[in-house]
Amino acid sequence: MMRALEPAIYDTLFRLIAERLPSPPVHPKGGCRHRVPDEICFKGLFWRFVTGAAWETIEVQMDRVVSDTTLRARRDEWVRAGVFEQLMDHALVEYDRLVGLDSDHVVIDGSAQLAPGGGSHTGKYPGSKGRLGFKWSCGVDTAGIGLGFVLDTGGRNDYRLLQPTLDAVLANTPSGRIGTLHLDRGYGYPSLPDRLNGYPIDNVAVVPRNQRGQGRVLLTGFGPRWVVERTHAWLTNFRQLKINWDRTTEHRHAAICLGFTIIVIYKLADHLTTNGLPLESIR
């Protein structure tokens, strides 16, 4: 979380997002009050994303140069324009250009988080102690880079989200194929081959589920699947995703796109620094 606050990371992120911000709406009567600059609004939204603080707290932290109402309105404006989805798509393109996305091994898994404010696509899930939550199901490459994700209620079974997640992953896979798909035991149903029929996947590595009368089966280690668990941990370092107070799927979707984009910038910054290249190489 703290690395996201580094000037180099933040400046690169804002440079990429500024190119995709929509033009200010035209007032129907030809005039309006002074519009708060996009850079100030993005800073407020970024602080909320990283810290999970309340809107009113962000307003105070920014010395009231922008109101919480304006921050919400600007966020909604950018979400409607698809800014955050475009940002994530562009970040993946840049990562593939500078480093290379690796779809030889792809791992898919879901992660449920609290959503105390409720709203669309939230529900109770095991371990939530009766509280509401939401779930993302994502696929990552061997470096933990998110290739695609879908959202649903906290109690949704990961197996039911497998096909939509695969569709999202393959849409961002340059080769259009997956070498080996790694899944945990939650996906190890006998019907799995039928669900994967027709997908461009060479191999599937999955732990079978326990069968009735089989007795106790020892758990296996994470193996290559640990990379997706690490990505979940990276995402939940952003407090807005750990305990999410947004009430719409669109807002949560935009927040996860922003989280995946920041992770890509982390990886690119390390790669460029190691090779003695400036962050401006990220176009």
- Asked if 49 and 238 count as a contact pair (C-beta separation under 8 A), the reply is yes
Q: Which two tokens stand for residue 15?
A: 């440079």
Q: Give CA–CA dist 7/74, Å, rounded.
A: 23
User: pLDDT digits over 189-212, tens only?
Assistant: 889 999 999 999 999 998 776 666
Instruction: Show the domains of the chain with their CATH numbers.
Output: 102-211+219-247 (3.30.420.10)
Residue 259: what pLDDT? Answer: 97
How far apart are the C-alpha atoms of 166 and 172, rounded to whole Å?
10
- Which distant-in-sequence residues (6+ apart) come within 8 Å of 50 by Cβ? 1, 4, 5, 238, 239, 240
In this structure, what DSSP letter does residue 282 have? -
Query: Mean pLDDT throughout 244-268?
Result: 96
pLDDT computed for residue 17 by the predictor: 95
Report the pLDDT averaged over residues 55-73. 95
* Cβ–Cβ under 8 Å, residues 124 and 92: no
- The whole-model pTM stands at 0.91
| More confident position, 221 or 100 | 100
Cα 201 to Cα 191, 215, 233, 264, 273: the distances in Å are 16, 32, 27, 25, 34
**Percent of the chain topping pLDDT 90:** 76
Stretch 100-112: mean pLDDT? 94
Please provide residue 210's backbone torsions phi and psi, each rounded to the nearest 5 degrees. -65, 135
Cα dihedral 194, 199, 203, 204 sign: negative
pLDDT at res. 208:
75
247 has a pLDDT exceeding 60: yes
Average pLDDT over residues 40-47: 96
Q: What is the DSSP string of 237-274?
A: TSHHHHB----SHHHHHHHHHHHHHHHHHHHHHHHHHH
215 pLDDT above the threshold of 90: no
Note the helical H segments in 121-248: 162-171, 192-196, 226-236, 239-242
pLDDT band at 233 (very low <50, low <70, confident <90, very high): very high
Confidence band for 186, pLDDT divided at 50, 70 and 90: confident
Q: Tell me, what's the pLDDT at 256?
A: 97
Distance (Å, whole) CA 191 – CA 185: 13
Average model confidence (pLDDT) across the chain:
91
Better-scored residue on pLDDT, 241 or 185: 241
Q: Does the pLDDT of residue 123 top 80, yes or no?
A: yes
Q: Model confidence over 258-282: pLDDT tens digits?
A: 999 999 999 999 999 999 998 889 9
Which single residue is written with the structure tokens 């009567």? 29
Question: Pairing state of beta strands 123-124 and 105-114?
Answer: unpaired
Average pLDDT (139-163) is 95
Whether the pLDDT of residue 214 is over 80: the answer is no
Ranges assigned E (strand) in 71-207: 105-114, 123-124, 132-140, 146-153, 178-183, 201-206
Residue 182 has pLDDT above 60, yes or no: yes
Q: What is the pLDDT of residue 240?
A: 95
Distance of CA 124 to the CA centre of its chain: 21
Q: Which residue has the higher pLDDT, 30 or 283?
A: 283
Spatial neighbors of 244 by CB under 8 A, at least 6 apart, are: 113, 114, 115, 117, 134, 252, 255
Q: Alpha-carbon distance 244 to 49, whole Å?
A: 10
Q: Which whole number is the average pLDDT over 156-181? A: 94
Residue 32 has pLDDT above 80, yes or no: no
- For the ranges 29-43, 85-99, 104-118, the lowest mean pLDDT is seen at 29-43
